[in-house]
Amino acid sequence: MNTVSEDLLNRILDAPVGQVAAVLGDILNCNIHLEVIEQNAITSHQFVRKIAIIANELPVIKAYVEFDSTVLPEFIMSELLKKKHGVGTILNINNIKATRNVISFHRNTDERLVLRKYDIIHDGIVWFTILEEIRLDNLGSNNNG
């Protein structure tokens, strides 16, 4: 299972911006859905959003997304405030090309957890900062099912 988990993890980490859920669905061959758990304003223009990517009723990725309404186009903010889609889906729907700049990466092998923090950048401007928790134990559960 360790080797399988390594392959799964690498494929998730290498997924293009906005394609993580699709890649998970292909890898695990199961229904994947994203849930916006909550979204709150920290200040009048800064927001934090908590999401979970669920596979077979288990959270495989939890993410905390920070964004600033003064940086984002109005149509992106409008979609975010609806709380229906993940950031990647919103970018894809609007044909926006973005890149990922990894800030930090940490793997806790005891808890089978990977933490990754990164920025999503469009035209040289940071649109989102994301802290992602990838649950390797839940990935293994899905793979063995």
Nearest-10 crossing angle of helices 136-144, 20-28: 40
Contact 42, 129 (CB under 8 A): no
Residues 33-84: tens digit of each pLDDT:
899 999 999 999 999 999 999 988 889 999 999 999 999 999 999 999 999 9
Residues 2-44: tens digit of each pLDDT:
544 677 788 888 888 878 888 888 888 888 889 999 999 999 9
pTM, 2 dp: 0.87
32-41 and 46-55: which strand pairing? antiparallel
Residues 88-106: tens digit of each pLDDT:
889 999 999 999 999 999 9
- What range does the domain containing 49 cover? 2-144
Tell me the residue type at 126: V
pLDDT of residue 143: 47
Question: What are residue 99's phi and psi, to 5 degrees?
Answer: -120, 160
Number of domains composing the chain: 1
CATH number of 114's domain: 3.40.1410.10
b (16+ CB within 10 A) / e for 60-74: bbbbebebbbeebee
